[in-house]
């Protein structure tokens, strides 16, 4: 496959949002041998999960705006234009769960729900 961070429709990232990031990191490090790299971001620490030095996902605490959300893994799909893709999803019967927003130095993302109820994240990477 071409670069999943540049290929429209490719699964490109997986992210764990959890109430106990330290315990989750220890569990997955022991279970799967994942490498972890801490990144300080706005108001939080984000952990990039790596396999053989390549980032494959991340682990983060539940942010205040998502308080009460149970721990879960989320998948990201690369799209050419998040805003256009979100509008297409709505026109096809989907719903917007989180409006498009920017992640400085990463890209623009949104969270949608398909007509059957499944939730997925969409991302246009900035590749800065």
- Give the mean pLDDT of the chain: 94
Which pLDDT score, from 0 to 100, does residue 66 have? 83
In percent, the amount of the chain with pLDDT more than 70 equals 98
pTM for this entry:
0.87
The domain 79-128 is placed in CATH, from the list 3.40.630.30, 3.10.180.10, 3.10.129.10, 1.20.1530.20, at 3.10.180.10
Measure the CA–CA gap between 49 and 6, rounded to whole angstroms. 19
8 Å CB contact between 13 and 106: no
Q: List pLDDT tens digits, range 64-121.
A: 888 888 999 999 999 999 999 999 999 999 999 999 999 888 999 999 999 999 999 9
The residues spanned by each domain of the chain are: 11-68, 79-128
Q: Which CATH superfamily is domain 11-68 in?
A: 2,3-Dihydroxybiphenyl 1,2-Dioxygenase, domain 1 (3.10.180.10)
Same-fold call for 11-68 versus 79-128:
yes
């Amino acid at each position: 496959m071409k670069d999943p961070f540049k290929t429209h429709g490719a699964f490109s990232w997986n992210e764990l949002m959890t109430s106990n990031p330290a315990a989750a990191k220890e569990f997955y490090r022991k279970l799967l041998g994942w490498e972890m790299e801490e990144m300080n971001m706005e108001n939080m620490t984000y952990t990039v999960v790596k396999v053989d030095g390549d980032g494959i996902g991340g682990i983060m605490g539940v942010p205040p705006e998502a308080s009460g959300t149970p721990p879960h893994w989320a998948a990201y799909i690369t799209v050419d234009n998040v805003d256009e893709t979100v509008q297409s999803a709505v026109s096809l019967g989907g719903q917007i769960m989180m409006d498009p927003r920017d992640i400085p130095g990463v890209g623009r993302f949104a969270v949608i729900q398909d007509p059957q109820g499944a939730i997925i994240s969409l991302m246009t990477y900035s590749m800065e």
